[in-house]
Amino acid sequence: MGRQYFGTDGIRGRVGQAPITADFVLKLGWAAGKVFSEAEKGRKLILVGKDTRVSGYMFESALQAGIIAAGVDVGLLGPMPTPAIAYLTRTFRAQAGVVISASHNPFDDNGIKFFGGDGFKLGDEVESRIEHYLDQPMETGLSEYLGRANRIADAAGRYIEFCKSTVPSGFNLDGLKIVVDCANGATYHVAPDVLRELGASVTTIAVEPDGLNINRECGSNHPRGLASEVLRQKADLGIAFDGDGDRVVMVDSRGVVLDGDEILYIIASHRHSSLGGCDGVVGTLMSNHGLKLAFDKLAIPFERARVGDRYVIESMRKNGWKLGGESSGHIVCSDLTSTGDGIVAALQVLKAMSETGKTLAELSRQMEKLPQVMINVRMKEKVAVVDLPEIRAAVVEAEAALAGNGRVLLRPSGTEPLIRVMVEGVDQELVNRLARQVADTVEKVLL
């Protein structure tokens, strides 16, 4: 069955515009409740968490009402990172977990994404079954068959302890000065505590969410403020999360920003040297070619998946590999958790620093990135741009100019109405010019 509402990362859009409306989310809660109530006999439980967007309160109430109407209990987690909800879904033996978040998007967007009882995102078949019920009349059960709601007061503490459990018991960050940017999002009340409890001296920025400032000029999408603060504080490093905490970028003591490719390399190379090998790593179509070249030197197998952490995880599970990620900062360590987790990934980098005695700059220096430029072109509606003759001709011309020493990639965003134009090559000036040239053609054709 095809899917009308679910995209690569749940259902997402502008608040107040279909389908991100209170009435739709009410019915979505009911539809999900119906699907998961059919799975097993007995009482059912679905956990619901959210990030710090002002609209999250409205959608939390709507989801709660719909799920209860379907006869399923609800555990309310409040503001919690997306990976925390995946973890708690497993530990509470819940049938599903629901995250109300639009991740790195601005506050006026929101979305709903689901985890199954195993802590993994739902497969297409389950999402299609939920959509089936969205087309049915909503029915409310009799009082004796309604679900019940319970607020889980110790959710943050449980997750903090889990994060600390992903590093060795004797591990500590004593003497390390870290600046943490929580994007005014869901990590604001957990990430600083994890690092402090491990012994670090922590300075925080963007930890005062007001419902409207999530991701606004802060967090993993806007790390320049963090870089400036690291330099001002003379800190050892900085860590920036996105609004729901499943992405992370880092800043070294020189103020240099390290993206997901560099973080993935540090974790994989350290595992390779300390454990006597790394079985393989999954990246995406957007991963820098320098990452592959660095892994080739270490004889670490590398495979590219479609963009989106669900596709990275699918490829990891298919290959039996434990590590994968995206340049955006989604890093998945499947031997530790079931989904991308910014805090867990950052701890793995800090572990590498501790065990090697090297700084973040020294660890990242072992990978040399090729010049890569990405330009986002906004579009009004989804169009298969690579099939349009004028755009295809612009891509062919750019590829010819690269002469086999680079690549051109056009990819529609799975979460926003954008076409991402990416050009990668050896010469920075040529890459800049070709990216602008292709992007201008795409913009002209789509106008």
Q: Which residues are catalytic?
A: 103
Is residue 319 helix, strand or coil? Answer: helix
Is residue 69 helix, strand or coil? Answer: helix
Instruction: Phi first, then psi: give them for residue 280, nearest 5 degrees.
Output: 165, 160
**36 and 95 Cβ atoms separated by less than 8 Å:** yes
Say how far apart CA 433 and CA 341 lie, in whole Å: 35
3-40 in b/e burial notation, b at 16+ Cβ within 10 A? eebbbbbbbbbebeeebbbbebbbbbbbbbbbbbbeee
Say how far apart CA 213 and CA 219 lie, in whole Å: 11
Nearest residue to 215 (alpha-carbon basis) of 132, 106, 316, 363: 106
CA angle 211, 216, 217 (to 5 degrees): 155
Question: Is residue 384 classed exposed, middle or buried when 0-12, 13-18 and 19+ CB atoms within 10 A define those classes?
Answer: exposed
Q: Quick one: DSSP state of residue 74?
A: E
- Written as six digits, the tokens of 143 are 């009082």
**241 and 342 Cβ atoms separated by less than 8 Å:** yes
Which residue intervals of 135-259 are DSSP H helices? 155-165, 191-197, 224-233
